[in-house]
């Protein structure tokens, strides 16, 4: 690739991103899922569209799709509230295991007996479409006000069920007959356990480090958090565990650890997640050949109907039998099993493995995802209202950022009253700090409190003073003056003891 080619590529990518960003606003107004617009952009750029770009590299699509999915899961985990998913973990675990098994079995049986597909193809389709798409679920939940218990179940399920489905698709894509199903179940359980352990461990270690290490620039915090989450995926995958489960759990731990610059980190992750979604959907649109889809439209619609109206409801109702979940919530969970780019990416696995009939599997999955996402996405808010599950939503949490004060053109000064400090016995109001500076916190005997103007300072107190840029030096000088001269140290905000100090051209620490 030459520099000229790079310039052309950057121009094309920039224009695609701008069109995709504009499409987000269009989709928010029309209710059309944005992923369909991104797929449409890719199809328009492809060989059957106006762009005429010929792209058939399924292996590259799979690799980039995996990378995008890692970022999307990390973004979803960082935005997941632990207090919401904690009560939903048992239900999400059942949906991600028992529910996936039921969905795969029912969908595969329908694809074999009703659509006439061979068993391997039917099992591949059943496994591929049994995973709810994290990007689609997280996107829809932002606009549909649901009770926190339902939001927690859907978020946790979409974060968990990618792992067992990937294992099943890889197993069904291997050459030779599929034997010893109990061994396969054991492998799934082992990989999930390894991925969960690694994700939780890396998330906890990363959160501890981020809280105790001061980075020199605020922009480094979001990068470090995303790097920690991605490293969880890599470590989990290299350890032959579920990397997808590892990255999601690590991101959940990081997102609920009250890290510095938490809102900025979530904003950065959301932006990277959008880029991942746009790139993945456009690439999948490029990979598909529209004129090859005609023969697979009818099987896709039939299998999609089986999945949406039979397999998904059976998986939800059977998985949630041990729990006292109202039928209205089960109904909504059944309809909210949204598919998106994840099934299409997983459909490239048999293509890369040269499984017979893999192109048919890919085409069926593509049509199924497009059609039923177009049906389910816009109708989900309506169904929630009909079931009276979208009413009385809880207010959103207020995001409070712990940020360095340099960005606010201010400084945080910290000082302690030593054993000889004359600030002992001085009231906070008697400090007469310059306008633009204030004592905001006092730490005394391990207890923190906000002082009032009549709070009397004592030896051993630690003070936190916020000062704007113009009065930063004056505030420091005033603290030094009162510490050395007491409450009578100057009447205009500068104490006599500091004048010789300035002439000597040096500073002394307070107390």
Token representation of residue 326: 């109202």
Helix (H, G, I), strand (E, B) or coil at 492: coil
Q: Is 127 exposed, middle or buried (CB count within 10 Å of its CB: 0-12, 13-18, 19+)? A: buried
Token representation of residue 174: 């291997």
Q: What is the pLDDT of residues 14-66, one digit of tens each?
A: 888 888 888 777 666 655 667 778 888 888 888 877 777 888 888 888 888 88
Confidence of residue 490 (pLDDT cuts 50, 70, 90): low
The percent of residues in the chain predicted with pLDDT above 70, rounded, is: 85
Confidence of residue 503 (pLDDT cuts 50, 70, 90): very low
Token representation of residue 293: 């889809």
pLDDT, residue 339, reads: 80
Residue 307 reports pLDDT greater than 80: yes
* Max avg pLDDT among 45-49, 200-204, 351-355, 452-456: 200-204
Residue 420 reports pLDDT greater than 50: yes
The label of the residue with tokens 């991605």 reads: 230
pLDDT, residue 247, reads: 92
- Range 400-428 average pLDDT: 69
Report residue 409: phi and psi, to 5°.
Answer: 55, 45
Residue 502 reports pLDDT greater than 50: no
pLDDT, residue 311, reads: 92
pLDDT, residue 194, reads: 92
pLDDT, residue 205, reads: 94
pLDDT, residue 495, reads: 46
Comparing 2-6, 333-337, 407-411, which segment has the lowest mean pLDDT?
Answer: 407-411
Mind giving me the DSSP string for 107-152? Answer: HHHHHHHTS---HHHHHHHHHHTTSPPHHHHHHHHTTS---HHHHH
pLDDT, residue 224, reads: 92
Mind giving me the DSSP string for 320-340? Answer: TTTS---HHHHHHHHHT----
**CA of 488: how far to CAs of 248, 318, 451, in Å?**
59, 78, 21
Q: What is the 3-state secondary structure (H, E, C) of 162-187?
A: HHHHHHHHHHHHCCCCCCCHHHHHHH
Helix (H, G, I), strand (E, B) or coil at 410: strand
Q: Give the CB-side neighbour count of residue 29, counting CA atoms within 13 A.
A: 5
Quote the CA–CA distance of 130 and 494 in Å, as a whole number. 72
Residue 402 reports pLDDT greater than 50: no
- Range 257-280 average pLDDT: 83
Q: What is the pLDDT of residues 181-230, one digit of tens each?
A: 667 778 888 888 999 999 999 999 999 888 777 777 778 889 999 999 99
pLDDT, residue 150, reads: 81
Comparing 264-278, 323-337, 397-411, 434-448, which segment has the lowest mean pLDDT?
Answer: 397-411
Q: What is the pLDDT of residues 77-94, one digit of tens each?
A: 888 878 778 888 889 889
Residue 323 reports pLDDT greater than 60: yes
- Range 249-274 average pLDDT: 85
Q: How far apart are the first and last CA of the chain?
A: 64
Evaluate the CA torsion angle 52, 57, 62, 63 in order and state its sign. Answer: negative
Q: C-alpha 417: how far from its chain's center?
A: 44
Token representation of residue 246: 């590892």
The average confidence (pLDDT) of the chain is 81
294 with 280: CB under 8 angstroms? no
- Range 281-288 average pLDDT: 86
pLDDT, residue 223, reads: 92
């Amino acid at each position: 690739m030459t520099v000229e080619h790079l310039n052309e590529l950057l121009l094309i990518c920039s224009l695609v991103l701008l069109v995709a960003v504009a499409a987000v606003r269009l989709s928010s107004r029309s209710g059309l899922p944005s992923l369909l617009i991104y797929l449409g952009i890719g199809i328009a750029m492809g060989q059957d569209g106006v762009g005429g770009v010929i792209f058939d590299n399924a292996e590259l699509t799979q690799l980039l799709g995996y990378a995008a999915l890692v970022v999307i899961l990390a973004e979803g985990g960082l935005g997941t509230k632990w207090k919401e998913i904690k009560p939903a973990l048992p239900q999400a675990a059942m949906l991600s295991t028992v529910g996936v098994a039921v969905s795969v079995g029912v969908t595969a049986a329908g694809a074999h007996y009703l659509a006439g597909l061979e068993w391997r193809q039917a099992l591949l389709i059943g496994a591929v479409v049994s995973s709810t798409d994290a990007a689609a679920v997280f996107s829809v939940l932002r606009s549909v006000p649901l009770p926190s218990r339902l939001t927690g179940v859907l978020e946790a399920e979409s974060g968990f069920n990618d792992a067992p489905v990937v294992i099943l698709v890889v197993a069904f894509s291997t050459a030779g007959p599929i034997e010893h199903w109990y061994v396969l179940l054991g492998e799934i359980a082992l990989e999930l356990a390894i991925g969960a352990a690694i994700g939780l461990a890396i998330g906890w270690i990363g959160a501890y480090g981020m809280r105790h290490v001061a980075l020199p620039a605020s922009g480094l915090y979001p990068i470090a958090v995303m790097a920690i989450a991605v490293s969880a995926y890599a470590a989990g995958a290299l350890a032959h565990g579920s990397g997808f489960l590892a990255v999601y759990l690590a991101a959940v731990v990081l997102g609920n650890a009250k890290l510095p610059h938490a809102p900025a980190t979530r904003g950065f992750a959301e932006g990277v997640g959008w880029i991942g979604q746009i790139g993945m959907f456009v690439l999948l649109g490029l990979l598909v050949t529209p004129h090859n889809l005609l023969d697979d439209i009818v099987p896709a619609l039939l299998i999609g109907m089986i999945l949406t109206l039979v397999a998904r409801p059976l998986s939800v109702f059977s998985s949630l039998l041990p729990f006292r979940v109202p039928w209205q919530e089960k109904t909504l969970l059944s309809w909210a099993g949204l598919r998106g780019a994840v099934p299409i990416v997983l459909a490239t696995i048999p293509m890369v493995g040269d499984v017979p009939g893999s192109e048919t599997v890919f085409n069926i999955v593509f049509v199924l995802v497009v059609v039923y996402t177009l049906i389910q996405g816009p109708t989900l808010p309506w169904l929630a209202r009909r079931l009276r599950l979208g009413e009385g939503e809880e207010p959103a949490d207020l995001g409070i950022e712990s940020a360095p004060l340099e960005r606010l053109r201010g400084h945080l000064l910290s000082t302690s009253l030593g054993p000889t400090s004359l600030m002992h016995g001085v009231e906070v109001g008697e400090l007469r700090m310059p306008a633009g500076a204030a004592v905001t916190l006092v730490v005394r005997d391990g207890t923190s409190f906000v002082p009032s103007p009549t709070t009397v300072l004592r030896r051993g107190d630690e003070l936190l003073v916020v000062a704007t840029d113009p009065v930063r030096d004056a505030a420091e000088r005033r603290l030094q003056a009162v510490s050395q001269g007491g409450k009578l140290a100057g009447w205009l905000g500068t104490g006599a003891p500091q004048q010789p100090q300035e002439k000597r051209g040096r500073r002394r620490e307070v107390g």
